[in-house]
Amino acid sequence: MKYIDEFRDGDLARGLSAAIKRAADPSRRYHFMEFCGGHTHAISRYGVSDLLPDNVRMIHGPGCPVCVLPVGRVDMAIRLALECGVTLCTYGDTLRVPASDSLSLMKAKARGGDIRMVYSSADALKLAQQHPEKQVVFFAIGFETTTPPTAVAIKQAQALGLKNFSVLCCHVLTPSAISTILESPEVRQWGTVPLDGFIGPAHVSTIIGSQPYEFFAEEYRKPVVIAGFEPLDVMQAILMLITQVNEGRAVVENEFSRAVTREGNVKAKNLVAEVFELRRQFEWRGLNMVPYSGLRIRKEYAAFDAEKRFPVDYVSVADNKACECGAILRGVKKPQDCKLFGTVCTPENPIGSCMVSSEGACAAHYTYGRYKDYA
Amino acid sequence: MSEVKRGYVRPLDIKNGRIDLSHGSGGRAMAQLIEELFAAAFDNEYLRQGNDGALLPVPTGGRLVMAADAHVVSPLFFPGGDIGCLSVHGTINDVAVMGAKPLWLSASFIIEEGFPLADLKRIVESMAAAAKEAGVPVVTGDTKVVEQGKGDGVFITTTGVGIVPEGVSLSGDQARPGDKILVSGTLGDHGMAIMAERESLGFSAPIQSDTAALHGLIEALLASGAAVRVLRDPTRGGLATTLNEIARQSKVGMMLEEKALPVNPEVAAACEFLGLDPLYVANEGKLVVIVAPEDAERALTALRAHPLGAKATTVGSVHEDQHHFVQMTTAFGGKRIVDWLTGEQLPRIC
């Protein structure tokens, strides 16, 4: 495939691997967090860690939208379908996230809930147009990448005067999650999570640009390299991070210049600002309540807010006590450190959300890398 | 059928007619449907017996194989085929991968009230053509009609019976360390043809399903004398799932070479677009062959000499592994597990 295979070239990978080995100082260790699930997936699927020297370790970050979705939010979606009788449209990844009462959206569907998998907010909007007799709710999750399409759907629903379309808004913000990790005692105080730099998001950055990360580089002295989701992108970014660390620099660099600018997509950002506003706080799985980290629908568009239209309130639900998803999402633990990993928690029967999406750290390690645990 | 004079019975209105509940009632309407549509299309000596069951000659020598396959594909018609020919090919392949010569098929239809007769005719004729081409007659069948909303157009279940000649013994538990893993052609064509149609991806050249009956290809392969251990058709769950089944049954590990996997560029592009992995996408006309290493070349030559195996290639090998992992050397140079399919193949959202 043109424009794809070039970024998965094995010969170039070997060259980069050798360059990384040359650049990495054998007398020290390097710990980099890839924020995004997309990077986690690429690293596992292409076996990137096999091409890195032993003293370069990748820590999986919380950038998997399904993984950070708290149980209480999935419960709301399930109540909308089962108790309020709406047609709930959701992205596929969300279907298997474990919720309260041993339910998931998939299981709620089997109990008679009208739950449909869609590829985009536009599909949900179309469904509402085709079925004026049904109340259609779009379960809007994800980081800045999926937020603009949700805003477009709401604007279009308003323009069409649709009375049967609304959105359960669970959109979250990347920079707040990064700050939370940097502010966590494990990183800042105790040093139990050594963190020498970040691989910055690919698709999120196409929207918000590279500018928002400058604060982290300056304030926390952590280099950030924004990278695409192809395996060569990831390796190039690792090399750039090592170089910054070696030179004692901490700046934002952009490996993904074919898609990301400093300002990002201004039109998309304006659209998001028009439809959404910051929530005072939002609960994340693993990070708990994070101030100003989630979005809600502005009152001008309240008619399309499922939380206002239907009697569903958010109730916080504690995770399974033995589940280490929280610590894994903060980079404190590895999937293999969790007692449930691969025993009671598998992709077929996920206990924690990190085992659900292919972008989750546990699912990626289970699906692609667990042979290493037996080596 | 009935004793009513021919001229007094109005023939089925194929052009505008629809299935109604009377077509499954056991009465005259059903008899007419069977006679004018099914019997006419599938016509053969066994079906002509007109009894509740087909009376078949007992084959001499060898062992019988029986396999069943239910078909619920949506959409019913897709580039490269339809539910009709698919239901013939699917069952023939299940019988043939046992090393058997398929002899007879049964076909049972569950049709939804309101289903257009024109579509049913198209499906039945496609089935009949596939059975005729394969030389495997449909010798018995059944028709049921369910109320509107209780089905999705039509579901077809077929059963196949075949005979394995003496000396042929293929089973999923026979893969041994050192064996080579071959595939007969490109991966993921059927699944992506369906997905592209379902999601209205609208490629300029639509992806064609690979649906085909494989017994001819298998016959040619076995005739080559190569020491074939296992044959499978990698349908749902794709090559990855099929190999995991074999690895578990044979208690071995496997190593694939990503670079060697044959995938059509359009299929690769569609998979990329939908966030799917061709290794997990269904095939309906492909064969996985596990063969003794010294016979791999001979098997490849035999496969490639057949039109359905022209793109046959070696994709990996079998080794000892107490964990029964299927692994892959990625084109990128790393290693990873090729695991069982989990749930549906879920699209990535960001």
- In this structure, the answer to whether residues A180 and A168 fall within a common structural domain is no
* Domain limit, last residue, from A254, A274, A297: A254
Q: Does B149 touch chain A (CB under 8 A)?
A: no
- pLDDT at A375 (0 to 100): 66
Q: Are A87 and A49 found together in one domain?
A: no
C-alpha–C-alpha distance, residues A367 and B238, integer Å? 16
Specify the CATH number for the domain of residue A36. 3.40.50.11750
Q: Is residue B171 part of a domain?
A: no
* Beta-carbon-side half-sphere exposure of residue B25 (alpha carbons within 13 Å): 10
What is the band of B5 on the pLDDT scale with cuts at 50, 70, 90? low
CATH number for the domain spanning A278: value is 3.40.50.11740
Closest CA to A51 of B337, B325, B328, B335: B335
Co-location of A139 and A79 in the same domain: yes
Q: What is the pLDDT of residue A240?
A: 97
Residue B238 sits in a domain of what CATH number? 3.90.650.10
- Are B142 and B216 in a shared domain? no
Range of the domain at B293: 180-337
Residue A138 belongs to a domain: yes
B240: closest chain A residue by CA = A367
A45, A235, A371, best to mutate vs chain B, most B CBs in 10 Å: A371
Q: Is B78 domain-assigned?
A: yes
Instruction: Give me the CATH number covering residue B117.
Output: 3.30.1330.10
Q: Which residue of chain B has the CA closest to A17?
A: B333
Of B239, B264, B249, nearest to B182 by C-alpha is B239
Mutate to test the interface with B, among A12, A45, A89, A106 (most CBs of B within 10 A): A45
Task: Please give the full DSSP string across A215-267, using - where no structure is assigned.
Answer: HHHHHH---EEE--SSHHHHHHHHHHHHHHHHHT---EEES-TTT--SS--HH
Could you tell me if residue B252 is inside a domain? yes
Question: In sequence order, which residues have a C-beta less than 8 Å from that of residue A90 and are 6 or more positions away?
Answer: A77, A105, A115, A116, A117, A118, A138, A139, A141
Question: Distance between CA atoms of B340 and B350, rounded to whole angstroms?
Answer: 23
Alpha-carbon distance of A296 to A311, in angstroms, equals 16
B343 and A119 within 8 Å at the Cβ level: the answer is: no
> Per the domain annotation, does B346 fall within a domain?
no
**Same domain membership, residue A240 and residue A140:** no
Is the domain of A215 the same as that of A273?
Answer: no
Other CB atoms within a 10 A radius of the CB of residue A119 amount to 14
Residues B152 and B18 in one domain: yes
Same domain, B23 and B139: yes
Q: How far off is chain A from B175, nearest CA to CA, in Å?
A: 20
Please list every residue in chain A whose beta carbon sits closer than 8 Å to the beta carbon of residue B346: 92-93, 95-96, 357-358
> Which residues 330-349 on chain A approach chain B with CB closer than 8 angstroms?
347-348
- Assess if residue B92 is contained within a domain: yes
Q: How confident is the model at residue B7 (pLDDT cuts 50, 70, 90)?
A: low
Among B99, B130, B164, give the residue marking a domain's end.
Answer: B164
What's the confidence (pLDDT) of residue A4? 79
B273 belongs to a structural domain: yes
Shared-domain flag, residues B37 and B71: yes
Domain limits for position A278: 71-172+264-309
- Chain B residues with beta carbon closer than 8 angstroms to that of A36: 350
pLDDT for position B81: 95
Q: Domain check: are B107 and B197 in the same one?
A: no
For residues B158 and B193, membership in a common domain is answered with no
Domain-located, residue B169: no
Average pLDDT for runs of 10 along chain A of length 375: 81 94 96 93 89 94 88 97 97 89 93 93 97 97 96 98 97 93 85 90 95 94 96 96 97 94 96 97 90 96 97 91 87 90 89 84 88 78
Residue A325: strand, helix, or coil:
helix
DSSP string, B259-312: GG----HHHHHHHHHHT--GGGS--SS--EEEE-GGGHHHHHHHHHTSGGGTT-
Same domain, A148 and A105: yes
Query: Which two tokens mark B236?
Result: 């749902």
Q: Does the distance separating the beta carbons of B346 and A347 come in below 8 Å?
A: no
Q: Determine the pLDDT at residue A138.
A: 98
Are residue A225 and residue A354 in the same domain, yes or no? no
A78 and A161 both lie in a single domain: yes
For B155-210, the pLDDT digits (tens) are 999 999 999 999 999 999 999 999 999 999 999 999 999 888 887 776 767 899 99
> Confidence class of residue B350 from pLDDT cuts 50, 70 and 90?
very low
Residue among A356, A358, A362 with most chain B CBs within 10 A, to mutate: A358
Q: Touching check for B205 and chain A: CB below 8 Å? A: no
Task: Give the pLDDT confidence score for residue B6 in this predicted structure.
Answer: 59
φ, ψ for residue B63 (rounded to 5)? -125, 150
Higher-confidence residue of B217 and B74: namely B217
Tokens 């009609």 found at: B145
β strands within A270-363, DSSP E: 276-278, 281-284, 288-291, 295-297
* In a shared domain, residues A75 and A162: yes
Place of tokens 């190039």: A236
Q: Are residues A131 and A249 in the same domain?
A: no
- Distance, CA of A294 to CA of A282 (rounded, Å): 5
| Distance from chain centroid for Cα B331 | 30
Question: Within this chain, do residues B35 and B136 fall inside the same structural domain, yes or no?
Answer: yes
Set of chain B residues whose Cβ sits within 8 Å of the Cβ of A10: 259, 330-333
In tens, the pLDDT along B232-266 reads 999 988 999 999 999 999 999 999 999 999 999 99
8 Å CB contact of B333 and A49: no
Kind of pairing, strands A114-117 and B180-183? Answer: unpaired
* A5 domain residue, yes or no: no
The 3-state secondary structure of chain B reads CCCCCHHHCCCCCCCCCECCHHHHCCCHHHHHHHHHHHHHHHCCCCHHHCCCCCCCCCCCCCEEEEEEEEECCCCCEECCEEHHHHHHHHHHHHHHCCCCEEEEEEEEEEEECCCEHHHHHHHHHHHHHHHHHHCCCEEEEEEEEECCCCCCCEEEEEEEEEEECCCCCCCCCCCCCCCEEEECCCCCHHHHHHHHHHCCCCCCCCCCCCCCCCHHHHHHHHHCCCCEEEEECCCCCHHHHHHHHHHHHHCCEEEEEHHHCCCCHHHHHHHHHHCCCHHHCCCCCCCEEEECHHHHHHHHHHHHCCHHHCCCEEEEEEECCCCCCEEEECCCCCEEECCCCCCCCCCCCC
Per DSSP bridges, beta strands A114-117 and B81-82 are unpaired
Of A237, A287, A326, the C-alpha closest to A30 is A237
Same domain, yes or no: B127 and B255: no
Residue A141 lies in a domain: yes
CB A362 within 8 A of CB A345: yes
Is pLDDT larger for residue B26 or for residue B144?
Answer: B144
Owner of token pair 């076909």: B107
- Structure confidence by residue, pLDDT tens digits, B296-326: 999 999 999 999 999 999 999 999 999 999 9
pLDDT band per the 50, 70, 90 thresholds, residue B8: low
Structural domain total, chain B? 2
pTM for this model (two decimals): 0.87
Is residue A196 assigned to a domain?
yes
Tell me: do B107 and B252 sit in the same domain: no
- Nearest-by-Cβ selection for B349 from A17, A47, A142: A142
What does residue B204 show for φ and ψ, rounded to 5 degrees?
A: -60, -40
State the pLDDT confidence band at B4, using cuts at 50, 70 and 90. low
CB within 8 Å of chain A, chain B residues 255-294: 259, 265, 268-269, 272, 274
Question: Is the CB of B348 less than 8 angstroms away from the CB of A38?
Answer: yes
Question: Is the Cβ–Cβ distance between A253 and A244 less than 8 Å?
Answer: yes
Please report whether residue A374 resides in a domain.
Answer: no
* Residue B342 covered by a domain: no
A373 lies in some domain: no
B198 near A CB under 8 A: no
A146, A150, A155, A156 alpha-carbon torsion, rounded to 10°: 100
According to DSSP, residue A43 is labeled H
Residue A168 shares a structural domain with residue A274:
yes
Residues B156 and B184 in one domain: no
Q: Are A114 and A86 in contact (CB under 8 A)?
A: yes
Q: Which of B334, B336, B350 is opposite residue A146, by nearest beta carbon? A: B350
User: How many domains are contained in chain A?
Assistant: 3
User: In this structure, is residue A7 part of a structural domain?
Assistant: no
A352 contact B CB<8A: no
Q: What is the distance between the alpha carbons of residues B230 and B99, in angstroms, rounded to a whole number?
A: 9
Same-domain pairing of B304 and B217: yes
d(CA B126, CA A110): 34
Reported confidence tier of residue B347, pLDDT bands at 50, 70, 90: very low
Average pLDDT over residues B53-64: 92
* B24 and B93 part of one domain: yes
A115 and A227 part of one domain: no
Q: Residue B325: its chain A contacts at CB < 8 A?
A: 371
- For residue A75, what are its two tokens? 């419960």
Residue A56's identity, in one-letter code, is V
